[in-house]
Structure formats: structure tokens, C-alpha cells
Amino acid sequence: MTLTSLSLPVADASVPAVTATLHTPSRRRGPAVILAPGAGGSLEGEGLRALAEVLVSLGLPVVRTNLPHHEGSRRAAPKAQRSVQPFRQIVAAAQGATGFKGPWILGGKSYGGRVASMAVADGLPAAGLLFYGYPLHPPGKPEQLRVEHWPHVGVPCLFLQGRRDTFAESELLRASVRKLPRRSTVHFVEGADHSLRVTGKASPTGTPSSEAATVTGLAPVIADWVGTLER
């Protein structure tokens, strides 16, 4: 695997480009992937890096990218809809910079994954959507579901969710995925929070797990889902 720093241009009033990192596998065996971080994170988040490393180990090129608000002074995240057009530009720039054609797998952590899904619902082609802690609703407000666009998401989806995620009540997520027109895989990690971090107290075995360790342990789940995209 090799790592390459990228600067991806965007037509955004705040920044001319966003920072990104390309992970290139020694041998490509699947579609390219682009991953965006959560609202307050960055492309350097440990869980996002671990997810990229799992995917590249499967032979998938991966671009980890910031969104415009992650750059510079790190302003508060705008409403997700306002990040959709910049995300579309980032995907196009990443495809041009890497030369990897064809529909990509799109997704990311929390806010980043939600923005990706909104872009796909708006017509952006994708091979699939990979969600690392989809923010189904604000904490403590399960009635405010963020699924209005889901009936228009016509690609397979993988949800990697913590059972203790305050942004997504487990049974509510299971019920909500019925709104998605294509097959969806939901994998819950027992004891994990929104970032898939597991404390010793919450762990079924009493053993804590960092974000990176949990995501790395999900490699078989991710590999199985990627395999379904090729059928």
C-alpha cells in the first residue's frame, strides 16, 4: 500500500480545495472508495483511518477526504444539505486525480456518510454506501429521523453501528432500513458507541476496544459486503 496526499478543488466560498489522502493497494481488486469524516472530525480520525486500511487490504483504493468546513479555522458543520454539492465536486475531483473510473463506494463517518447518502439520493452514481455510525436522529430525539431521502437511495448499503449509539436506536434503525429500495446490511457492535468505541464497562467480555481496534475487527463483515457488490 502507498499513501499519497491530494488537494481536491471545490467551488466553495470558504476554501479553494480540501485535503485528502489516497491509499493505493498493491493490487486492485474492487471499486474505489471515498470516505468523509464526521461533523467535528477530520480525515485523520483513527476510526476513519482504520476503515480505509481495512478496505485497502481488500484491494480497494481509498480516498479519505475532508469537507470544506473541516479546513482552515474548522467552522461548525453546515446543515448536511449544504455539503452535498461540495461532496459531489470532491468525488469528481478524486476520480480525476486518481484515474479510477466507474461508480465508487461512497460513505464515511456519521455526518460524512449522511452527506454521501444525500448526494446519491440526488443522483450521484455509486457502487454502494458504507456508513460508519449513521446519525439516524439527534441524541435523545428519535422522532427526528434523518431518512427523508432514503427511498431515493438506490444502491446497496452497509451500516456499521454501535449498539449504544445515541444517534441511532438499534430497533429504530432496523425498522427504518425498510425505506431503502436496495438490500441493506446492518451490523451492530455490542457495547459500542457512535464512534464504535467500547469501554470495559460496556463490553460484553469486559475488554475495552478503541475505535480503530473495533473497525479493524469488522474486516470480515466489510469483506462479505464488498463481495456482494460484485454479484
- The 10s digit of each residue's pLDDT in 150-208 is 999 999 999 999 999 999 999 999 999 999 999 899 999 999 999 999 999 999 999 99
pLDDT tens digits along 142-161 = 999 999 999 999 999 999 99
| Architecture of the domain defined by 2-229 | 3-Layer(aba) Sandwich (3.40)
Smallest CA-to-CA distance from 142 within 165, 119, 161, 111 is with 165
131: pLDDT strictly greater than 70? yes
Report yes or no on whether pTM surpasses 0.75. yes
- In 3D space, the residue among 102, 91, 21 whose CA is nearest the CA of residue 56 turns out to be 21
Task: Determine contact, residues 69/100, Cβ cutoff 8 Å.
Answer: no
C-alpha cell at 226: 464488498
Provide, rounded to the nearest whole percent, the portion of the chain with pLDDT above 70: 98
Contact 46, 119 (CB under 8 A): no
**Domain ranges within the chain, ordered by starting residue:** 2-229
How far apart are the C-alpha atoms of 25 and 228, rounded to whole Å?
20
